[in-house]
């Protein structure tokens, strides 16, 4: 039920056992073996990408490919700690390579300066998981549909000012194990109400096999808000979901994210896009007030740290098939300091 890792069983060397000692105690040897048999593609080396790269390299995947065609700018240095300050004008993936590799010599880290849009389908098929940051909605939908047909796990994430999100698609039937406290069955013989109750033994745990089902990004973004069921759930729906639609549309229309250099112009555009998006989704225009506008400019490093921590953790959980995954969208609001997980999809 738990997927086989590469044909030969990756044996963990003494050196690796020492390096990964703390996490092997945390999630077990089997999970670590699965991790170190996995190859991951990370697209986009902004502030969020740097956090995810660090977390995956330290966790000990087999290989990580950093794909980014952009050049290092003053803006991208601010929230991105893998790029040296002297690297302005260089390719972001190449400039991040040295510090990334130094984090853990046991992981094969590669830099690729091609444009992700130019990559053929078969490029993505060499990976066990693909993580997309800073990409357009069209590209994310295309890669997600391709990967889900080939059982490759897909993650998407972005940080916009104080806001951040993460999406994952682990396939229609994702199997994992979860550690649960062991329930001790009552022994026969004694009578009275106490004897009937099963007791939870806090010192003993047991592994429970579970299955979860995920949908594609296209389905998660194309919820029909006119259906009675969706209308009824609207009150419980995080407004961050609609904010994500607005910010993805801004990126589609402008080919970039809201820029502090064009604050007045971009604020006006965000207001317009907000109105158009909410109208197109057939939900009330009052759902998302103007308040969000001044808080979604540029990547803020503390928000990158939180979202990158969650995103990295979810990739590790999915590759090691250990513990319950976030299904299927996680939103972080740095103004409130809270995160929320919610499922969006056909059902």
**Tens-digit pLDDT profile for residues 91-148:** 999 999 999 999 999 999 999 999 999 999 999 999 999 999 999 999 999 999 999 9
Q: Three-state DSSP class for 137?
A: helix
- What is the C-alpha separation between 37 and 16, in angstroms, rounded? 13
The pLDDT assigned to 7 comes to: 42
* pLDDT surpassing 80 at residue 325: yes
Position 154 pLDDT exceeds 90? yes
pLDDT tier at 203, thresholds 50, 70, 90 = confident
The answer, yes or no, to whether residue 321 has pLDDT greater than 80, is yes
Model confidence, pTM: 0.90
DSSP structure string for 183-233 = EEPPPSS--SHHHHS-EEEEEEEEEEEEEE----HHHHH---TTSHHHHHH
Which domains does the chain carry?
14-173+300-341 (3.40.50.720), 221-294 (no CATH)
For residue 51, is pLDDT > 60?
A: yes
Q: Report whether 109 contacts 63 (CB < 8 A).
A: yes
Share of the chain above pLDDT 70, in %: 93
Q: What is the pLDDT of residue 230?
A: 86
State the pLDDT at residue 189.
56
Asked if 302 and 162 touch (Cβ cutoff 8 Å), the reply is no
Q: What local confidence, expressed as pLDDT, does residue 5 receive?
A: 45
pLDDT in tens, 186-199: 766 555 555 566 77
Residue 330: the pLDDT is 98
Average model confidence (pLDDT) across the chain? 91
- The single residue listed with the structure tokens 């389905």 is 219
Distance CA 30, CA 315 (A): 16
**Mean pLDDT (whole number) for 337-347:** 92
């Amino acid at each position: 039920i738990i997927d086989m890792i590469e044909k030969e069983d990756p044996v963990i060397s003494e050196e690796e056992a020492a390096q990964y000692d703390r996490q092997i105690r945390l999630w077990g040897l089997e999970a670590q073996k699965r991790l170190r048999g996995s190859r991951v593609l990370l697209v986009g080396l902004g502030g969020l990408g740097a956090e995810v790269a660090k977390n995956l390299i330290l966790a000990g995947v087999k290989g990580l490919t950093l794909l980014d065609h952009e050049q290092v700018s003053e803006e991208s240095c601010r929230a991105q700690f893998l790029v040296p300050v002297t690297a302005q004008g260089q390719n972001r993936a190449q400039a991040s390579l040295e510090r990334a590799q130094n984090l853990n010599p046991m992981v094969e880290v590669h830099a690729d300066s091609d444009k992700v849009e130019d990559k053929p389908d078969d490029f993505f098929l060499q990976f066990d998981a693909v993580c997309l940051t800073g990409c357009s909605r069209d590209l994310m939908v295309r890669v997600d549909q391709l990967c889900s047909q080939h059982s490759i796990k897909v993650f998407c994430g972005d940080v916009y000012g104080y806001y951040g999100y993460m999406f994952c698609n682990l396939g229609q039937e994702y199997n994992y194990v979860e550690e649960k406290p062991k329930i001790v069955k009552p022994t026969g013989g004694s009578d009275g109400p106490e004897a009937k109750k099963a007791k939870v033994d806090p010192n003993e745990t047991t592994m429970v096999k579970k299955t979860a089902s995920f949908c594609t990004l296209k389905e998660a973004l194309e919820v029909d808000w006119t259906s009675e069921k969706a209308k009824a759930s609207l009150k419980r729906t995080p407004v961050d979901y609609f904010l994500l639609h607005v910010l993805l549309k801004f990126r589609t229309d402008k080919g970039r994210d809201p820029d502090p250099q064009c604050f007045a112009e971009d604020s006006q555009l965000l207001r317009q896009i907000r109105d158009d998006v909410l109208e197109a989704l057939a939900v009330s225009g009052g759902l998302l007030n103007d308040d969000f506008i001044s808080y979604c400019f540029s990547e803020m490093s503390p928000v990158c740290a939180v979202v990158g921590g969650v995103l990295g953790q979810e990739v590790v959980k999915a590759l090691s098939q250990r513990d319950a995954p976030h299904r299927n969208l996680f939103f972080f609001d740095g103004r409130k300091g809270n995160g929320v997980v919610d499922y969006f999809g056909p059902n």
